[in-house]
Amino acid sequence: MGFLTLGPDANCWEADLMAIIHYSQETYFSDTKPISSAEFIDDLEGPSRVLPQIDKIEIKRCFSPFPKLCRLLVLHELIHNKLYKKHGAAQKDTGEEFQAEVKRLWGSDAYVDLL
């Protein structure tokens, strides 16, 4: 799976965020309300974020040419999304439940070919 699409200016390839999200949700997060939109953002403080209230993931535009990195970021944000929807509040990625999700994904081979 290449997860590439032509960028908005049709001059370069970039990660196909919605294809990555759909694949990841169907494969690893089928029990969670799905993310319905995604966008590359120029001015983002961190590398990525999830907005679970509106079912959206944003990723810093500088990562758009790197589909493997985008897949890692999407998995990270989908964990946050799942835990937010379970608890109604953001959870720390150092927390026990977040780390258990990382281990679950590792055991499901979600990170194969990404690291």
What is residue 110's predicted lDDT score, i.e. its pLDDT? 96
- Would residue 40 count as lying in a domain? yes
User: What is the predicted pLDDT for the residue at 26?
Assistant: 96
Q: Answer whether residue 19 is part of any domain.
A: yes
**In what helix (H) or strand (E) does residue 15 lie, and over which residues does it extend?**
strand 13-15
**pLDDT of 3-52, one tens digit each?**
756 556 656 667 889 999 999 999 999 999 999 999 999 999 999 999 99
CB atoms within 10 A of CB 51: 14
CATH number at residue 46: 3.30.2010.10
Count of beta carbons in the 10 Å neighbourhood of residue 107? 9
Please enumerate in sequence order all residues whose Cβ is within 8 A of that of 108, keeping only pairs 6 or more positions apart, or say none: 27, 28
Domain assignment present for 114: no
pTM above 0.85, yes or no: yes
Identify whether 115 is part of a domain: no
The predicted structure's pLDDT at residue 114: 87
- Structural domain count of the chain: 1
**Residue 79: domain span:** 4-107
